[in-house]
């Protein structure tokens, strides 16, 4: 589990195709590696990767076809900068929100503009996950825990404060940039619980919320 608070930036140092999927080498001069060991999890642009080998200032990790199909890793480039976060400890301060590192889909930047000292982003989410995104709710973008300012259909807006922009790859976002999205895990489990007696994937509706006591009905 992760918090969405980025610890360091890294670089894709090498890529290898192996048996139909991919192995990556990520290097970082600033990620604390002294206590990292084989089998540990490190979120890389929001994707939970397992360390399969240690090398110099970084690590190797495998990327499955499932991950390639749901994330930007299918288009990853050598030299590309990535956000890094080691798995949180039970004793750690919880500063962000619950992040599993299981990417739900790829979003696209529609607009990027200055708002005083902040950056305002408008992002298009895949239609199949848009209903999980709520105004003032949490979302993970390339591994960064962020608060949603506004939602219109499958488009949502974010405000990025200067510190977050400076410490993450968000500072490099441009229109049409693709990014990894992970919705709030609580929303996913809530939907499944409400649909427990129905086929999976039907989603939450106003009627189902009312049926389960989440909405008041007028007498």
Residue at 94 is within a domain: no
Could you tell me the pLDDT band of residue 89, with boundaries at 50, 70 and 90? confident
Please tell me whether residues 68 and 14 are part of one structural domain: yes
pLDDT of residue 217: 56
In a domain, 99, yes or no: no
Q: What is the mean pLDDT of the chain?
A: 91
Distance from C-alpha of 195 to C-alpha of 201, rounded to nearest angstrom: 8
Same domain, 200 and 165: no
Is the pLDDT at 7 greater than 70, yes or no? yes
d(C-alpha 95, C-alpha 58), whole Å:
25
Q: Which residues pair with 140 in a beta bridge?
A: 145, 182
Residue 97 located in a structural domain: no
pLDDT reading at 196 higher than 80: no
Same domain flag for 63 and 125: no
CATH number for the domain spanning 172: value is 2.40.30.20
**Domain-located, residue 96:** no
Shared domain for 174 and 214, answered yes or no, is: no
Band of pLDDT at residue 27, cut at 50, 70 and 90 = very high
Express each pLDDT in 58-79 by its tens digit: 999 999 999 999 999 999 999 9
Q: Of 55, 86, 117, which residue constitutes the final position of a domain?
A: 86
Residue 98 placed within a domain: no
Residue 21 lies in a domain: yes
Same domain, 178 and 110: yes
Banded pLDDT at 84 (limits 50, 70, 90): very high
* 93 is a domain residue: no
Q: Domain check: are 38 and 58 in the same one?
A: yes
List the domain range (segments joined by +) for residue 76. 8-86
Classify residue 201: in a domain, yes or no. Answer: yes
For the whole model, what pTM was predicted? 0.86
Same domain, 166 and 117: yes
Lowest mean per-residue pLDDT among 27-41, 84-98, 112-126, 131-145: 84-98
Same domain (yes/no): 27, 40: yes
Q: Which of 85-89, 108-112, 140-144 has the lowest mean pLDDT?
A: 85-89
Helix H, strand E, coil C: the string for 116-168 is CCEEEEEEECCCCCHHHCCCCCEEEECCEEEEEEEEECCEEEEEECHHHHHHC
What are 47's two structure tokens? 């994707």
User: What total number of domains does the chain contain?
Assistant: 3
Residue 37 shares a structural domain with residue 55 = yes
pLDDT at 187: 86
Q: CA-CA distances (angstroms) from residue 82 to 27, 160, 201?
A: 10, 17, 32
Q: What is the per-residue pLDDT for 73?
A: 96
């Amino acid at each position: 589990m992760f918090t969405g608070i980025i610890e360091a930036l890294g670089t894709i140092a090498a890529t290898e195709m192996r048996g139909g999927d991919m192995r990556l080498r990520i290097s970082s001069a600033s990620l604390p590696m002294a206590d990292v060991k084989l089998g540990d999890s490190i979120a890389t642009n929001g994707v939970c990767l397992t360390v399969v080998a240690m090398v110099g200032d970084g690590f190797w990790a495998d990327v499955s076809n499932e991950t390639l199909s749901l994330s930007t890793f299918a288009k990853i480039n050598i030299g590309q900068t990535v956000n890094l976060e080691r798995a949180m400890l039970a004793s750690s301060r919880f500063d962000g929100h619950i992040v599993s590192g299981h990417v739900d889909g790829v979003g696209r930047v529609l607009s990027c503009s200055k708002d005083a000292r902040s950056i305002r982003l408008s992002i298009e989410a895949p239609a199949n996950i848009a209903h999980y995104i709520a105004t003032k709710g949490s979302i993970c973008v390339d591994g960064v825990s962020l608060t949603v300012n506004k939602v219109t259909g499958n488009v949502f807006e974010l405000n990025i404060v200067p510190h977050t922009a400076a410490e993450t790859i968000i500072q490099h976002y441009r229109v049409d940039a693709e990014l990894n999205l992970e919705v709030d895990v609580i929303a996913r489990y809530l939907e499944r619980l409400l649909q427990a007696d129905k086929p999976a994937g039907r989603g939450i509706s106003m009627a189902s919320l009312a049926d389960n006591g989440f909405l008041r009905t007028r007498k």
